[in-house]
């Protein structure tokens, strides 16, 4: 048995301290390095940087699924092209959060406009 916590950087330190003291096997998805704390509490730490496995195709797949999930009405959903995904990857690398923030702003600025959705400014 293992406890998986995503966005662990949002948990207050006292809560993490309780988890560490229990010694329960945990996997932390986090943007903050917690390895020192984990080692101090007797954990063996293995860090995996997810960005190293992100490529243009993965980026495109993630964002196209999110576009479908965010659909507000029936009909065709704009999709991120391979060319746009390559451009995003060159600009943001494997940093999905920054690419997502960028796309959010771009898409929000086009809401209510008629025409083809553009994913670059």
- DSSP code at position 112: T
* Distance, CA of 85 to CA of 74 (rounded, Å): 25
Contact present, 9 and 26 (Cβ < 8 Å):
no
Q: Is 105:121 a contact under the CB 8 Å cutoff? A: no
Mean pLDDT computed over every residue of the chain: 87
Q: pLDDT band for position 115 (50/70/90)?
A: low
Give 62-77 pLDDT, tens digit per residue.
999 998 898 878 888 8
**pTM for the full predicted model:** 0.63
């Amino acid at each position: 048995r293992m406890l998986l916590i995503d966005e662990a950087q949002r948990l207050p330190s006292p809560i993490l301290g309780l988890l560490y003291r229990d010694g329960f096997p945990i996997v932390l998805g986090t943007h903050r390095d917690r390895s020192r704390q984990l080692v101090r509490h007797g954990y063996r730490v293995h860090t995996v940087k997810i960005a190293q496995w992100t490529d243009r195709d993965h980026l495109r797949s993630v964002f196209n699924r999110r576009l479908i999930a965010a659909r507000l009405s029936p009909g065709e959903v704009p999709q991120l092209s391979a060319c746009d995904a390559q451009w995003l990857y060159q600009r943001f690398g494997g940093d999905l959060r920054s690419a997502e923030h960028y796309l959010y702003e771009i898409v929000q600025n086009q809401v209510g406009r008629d025409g083809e959705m553009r994913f670059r400014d």
